[in-house]
Amino acid sequence: MSNNAKILIVEDEPAIRTGLVDVFVYHGYDVDFAETGTLGLEKALSGSYDLLLLDVMLPGIDGFEICNQVREQSRDQAIIMLTAKGTDEDVIKGLSLGADDYVSKPFSVAQLVLRVQAVLRRSINESPSNETIILDANTAIDCLNMSGNANGKTLAFTRREIDLLQYLEANSHRPVSRDELLSKVWGYADDLDLETRTVDIHIAKLRRKIETNSATPEFLVTVRGAGYKLICADNNIG
User: Helical H runs in 63-197?
Assistant: 63-73, 88-96, 109-121, 159-170, 178-184
CA geometry: angle at 73 spanning 111 and 53, to 5°? 20
Confidence at residue 183, expressed as pLDDT on a 0 to 100 scale: 87
Torsions phi, psi for 14 (to 5 deg)? -55, -45
Q: What does DSSP assign to residue 176? A: B
Query: Strands across the sheet with 101-104, in order?
Result: 30-34, 6-10, 51-55, 78-83, 101-104
**Residue-level pLDDT at 17:** 94
| pTM strictly above 0.85 | no
The hierarchical CATH code for the domain 6-121 is: 3.40.50.2300
CATH number of 132-230: 1.10.10.10
The alpha carbons of the chain give a radius of gyration, in whole angstroms, of 18
Report d(CA 96, CA 105) in Å as an integer. 19
Sign of CA dihedral 27, 52, 73, 156: positive
pLDDT at site 220 = 95
Q: What is the pLDDT along the chain (238 residues), one digit of tens a residue?
A: 446 799 999 999 999 999 999 999 999 999 999 999 999 999 999 978 999 999 999 988 999 999 999 999 988 899 999 987 656 777 888 888 889 888 888 888 888 998 898 888 764 444 445 689 999 988 999 998 889 998 888 999 988 899 999 999 999 999 999 999 988 888 887 766 666 788 988 999 899 999 988 889 999 999 999 999 999 876 544 4
Going from N- to C-terminal start, the domains of the chain cover: 6-121, 132-230
Q: Which amino acid, residue 25?
A: V
Residue 148 near residue 140 (C-beta atoms within 8 A): yes
